[in-house]
């Protein structure tokens, strides 16, 4: 599923705990804001490659930059 979030409609997306999510900025600059339901614990993070063949994510525009976060 994909949803475009912008500064015109100000729509929000709720991703419940345990649901994998990612984003691609379609403009420059772009602001991203997360809200979580507990104190952030980096050791609980899980990363999945943007180009994982099992997920076959169809990104809206070509991927040019990927966060260094692992």
> Would you state the pLDDT for residue 18?
84
User: pTM, whole model, 2 decimals?
Assistant: 0.77
What are the sequence ranges of the domains in the chain? Answer: 1-34+49-62
> Would you state the pLDDT for residue 69?
67
For the record, the structure tokens of 70 come out as: 């692992």
Q: Where does the pLDDT of residue 43 fall: very low under 50, low under 70, confident under 90, or very high at 90 and above?
A: confident
Place of tokens 């772009």: 30
Strand, helix or coil for residue 43: helix
Residue 17 half-sphere exposure toward CB, CA atoms < 13 A: 5
What is the spatial distance between Cα 23 and Cα 30, in angstroms, rounded to a whole number?
11
Closest CA to 64 of 24, 31, 32: 24
Q: Measured in whole angstroms, how far is the alpha carbon of residue 11 from the centre of its chain?
A: 15
> Would you state the pLDDT for residue 9?
92
């Amino acid at each position: 599923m994909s949803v475009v979030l912008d500064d015109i409609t100000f729509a929000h997306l709720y991703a419940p705990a345990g649901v994998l999510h990612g984003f691609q900025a379609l403009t420059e600059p772009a602001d991203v804001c997360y809200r979580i339901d507990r104190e952030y614990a980096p050791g609980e993070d899980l990363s999945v490659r943007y180009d994982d063949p099992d997920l076959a994510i169809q990104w809206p525009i070509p991927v040019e930059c990927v966060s260094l976060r692992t």
